[in-house]
Amino acid sequence: MSDHFFINFSMYALPPSPLKQEIKCRKLKHIDHISFDLDLKNSPLISDSPDDLDLLCELYHDTLSELLDKNAPSTTKIVSCKKSPWYNEDVHQTKNKRRIAERQWRHSKLEIHRQIFNSAKSHTTSVIRKAKSEYCISKIEENSHSPKFLFDFVFFSYGKRTNNHPART
């Protein structure tokens, strides 16, 4: 008789939730410029500014911070930081260029800017596809010795989660 027993069980685990980060922001586009201008003219920065540079800098900082808090109060948002494993600096720069082109087109409504935006959009799509492909290829090459990892990776790549593995023979 043996004291070794085979233990078999299934365990379901949820993927880790994306990291949450708290950020502060202001709605600067919604400032009432007339009110801000009036508050600035009535501030001690304009009416009695000191001659000492350090005091002037401190007053400048305090006055503008107070005016910003009054006219555009800061709000906090909680955003989730989910970074894909294939996301790299090249993808980041390409997406930023696409956003710039889109803002330019939406502002001007010119046909040439629409064409530039469409070109940037297609370039971004190709850069993302290339980055995803390179990531998958590197993962497959790194783990070519592990059939279980490859099986799980393929199912994960297609968005399917399964506990059914092929029977070992």
Rounded to the nearest 10°, the torsion over CA 63, 64, 66, 72 is: 160
pTM over cut 0.85: no
In terms of C-beta density within 10 A (0-12 exposed, 13-18 middle, 19 or more buried), how is residue 63 classed? middle
* pLDDT, tens digit (0-9, with 9 covering 90-100), for 80-126: 877 788 899 999 999 999 999 999 999 999 999 999 999 999 999 99
Per the structure block, which two tokens stand in for 67?
Answer: 């005016």
Which residue do the tokens 């107070």 mark?
A: 66
* pLDDT, tens digit (0-9, with 9 covering 90-100), for 13-34: 566 667 788 889 998 888 899 9
* pLDDT, tens digit (0-9, with 9 covering 90-100), for 29-54: 888 999 999 999 998 888 888 888 99
Residue 145 has pLDDT above 90, yes or no: no
- Identify the pLDDT of residue 147: 83
CA distance 97 to 130: 17
Are 133 and 96 spatial neighbours (Cβ–Cβ below 8 Å)? no
CA distance 5 to 22: 50
Core vs surface per residue 110-130: b (16+ CB within 10 A) or e: eeebbebbeebeeebeebbee
- Identify the pLDDT of residue 139: 86
